[in-house]
Structure 1
Amino acid sequence: MTTILLLLIGFTAGFFIRTVRAKSQADKAKRQADALDQQVGILQRELLAMRDAESRRLGDVARRKRFFEENDVSDVENQIRFISHTELRAVRPVNKEAVRVLYALDEWIDTHQPYWRMAFEVSMGAFIKTSSYDPDDRMQKAAFSSYNSKRVDFLLIDRFGQPVLAVEYHGTGHDMSDDAPDRMEVKRLALERAGIPLVEVPAKATKAEIVRMVDQKLTTDAPLAR
């Protein structure tokens, strides 16, 4: 009887110990599973955040591309659209002050060189080029870009279309921008390097003064009239 009782006690104790161990292992497994679930949840949220960020990035790229395409001024269809949706008006190509210079030059041409002609607001890239053309010469390209977009107020050409005199009028609005003196210095240098005389007419110069300045410049600096 005692033996059986001891066996029962031992069995019960072993069962209890196994139960406790099993419960401990189950608790440990549950904690590990919970920790794994937390990690999976974190990874899923990070993945969703990455997907959202990538989606926003692609959306931004698409919007920038669409904006560029819709506003690309090199596209002729866009140019037509821009002009079609904008109110335009005609304005004086030469301001009121400079008109006096224009007519003084026009009269000088009629009197002294009737076969010459005059243009105004001429892009310097239209009548000044580098002496040689080398598509791989970066200095040539940089030099051309430096003066190409700048304009002279008036340009006199001979009967063969060659430029013989540039005229700049320094009126009241000439120095409105801070970089006007620097831009003028670039013009002077480009004209000098190209061998084209330059007359700089001060504000409020009279017709007689303009004519005298042109006569003096063409007499002393210009090549023989053609």
Structure 2
Amino acid sequence: MQNWPAPIGGSFSNESPTVNHLILAVILLLILVGIARISSRKLGRSKKRAYVPGWWNDAQNNQLTTVTNASFSTQSIMNKGEYSVFALTEKFVKAHLPGHRVFAQTSLGEILKSPDRNAFLAINSKRVDILIVNPFGVGILAIEYQGDGHYQQNAPMRDAVKKEALRKAGIPTVEGGVT
């Protein structure tokens, strides 16, 4: 049997390096699980979460029942006008801003935070049509496409809320589209 180089800390066996690596991986996994359990107890979390009757579980069960009984199909994430602007933005960013990325229909709740819970809830479900992020994943420019059906119902108020939150976070907004 061939003697393989000993792993760090000594030799486990004369098995192949793959077996030694597997043994090390299992040991590390067990250590990490132990640390996670200790940390969980220190934070006051129980090992298993029991079913707690109440509105939260009832709401979740109702959502699951509703979704289970419904049908779904795919749809486009953007209309044609938005997609045209998105494609042009992608080309520009790829050519001129290495490491930057372009995202579509991004929730403000994913890119902004506020210590004021009510302010956060006001923007959480609102989306920007197109978002350019820097190489660290932080938004640097929001693009809003105002299409044919944009100015319906409370769109001006929604836009004002989005623009103000983005402005306060230091993310400029560019608007354009059909007039």
Smaller-chain TM-score bracket? 0.5 to 0.7
Match for residue 79 of structure 2 among 81, 95, 103: 95
Q: Which residue of 1 aligns with 2:36?
A: none
SS at match of 1:122: strand
Cα distance, 1:201 vs structure 2:
1.4
Structure 1 unaligned segments of length 5 or more: list them.
1-68, 134-139, 205-226
Residue-by-residue CA offset, 1:58-105 (whole Å, 9 max, x unaligned): xxxxxxxxxxx7xx5x31x33232122111110001112211011011
Cα distance, 1:189 vs structure 2:
0.7
Amino acid at match of 2:143: V
Q: Distance in 2 between matches of 1:184 and 1:175?
A: 10
Q: Does 1:173 align with 2:149?
A: yes
Q: Which residue of 2 aligns with 1:128?
A: 112
Q: Does 1:189 align with 2:164?
A: yes
Q: Distance in 1 between matches of 2:157 and 2:78?
A: 22
Q: Which residue of 2 aligns with 1:118?
A: 102
Amino acid at match of 1:163: G
Q: Distance in 2 between matches of 1:80 and 1:129?
A: 29
Cα distance, 1:194 vs structure 2:
0.6
Between the two proteins, what is the percent identity of the paired residues? 35
Q: Distance in 1 between matches of 2:71 and 2:117?
A: 36
SS at match of 1:80: helix
Q: TM-score with structure 2 length normalisation? A: 0.64
The number of residue pairs the alignment matches comes to 124
Cα distance, 1:182 vs structure 2:
0.7
Amino acid at match of 1:157: V
Q: Distance in 1 between matches of 2:146 and 2:124?
A: 20
Q: Which residue of 2 aligns with 1:144?
A: 120
Q: TM-score with structure 1 length normalisation? A: 0.51
Moved over 6 A (4+): none
Q: Distance in 2 between matches of 1:83 and 1:142?
A: 28
Bigger proportion of residues as helix: 1
Q: Distance in 2 between matches of 1:86 and 1:128?
A: 32
Cα distance, 1:195 vs structure 2:
0.5
Amino acid at match of 1:191: L
Cα distance, 1:160 vs structure 2:
0.8
Amino acid at match of 2:124: N
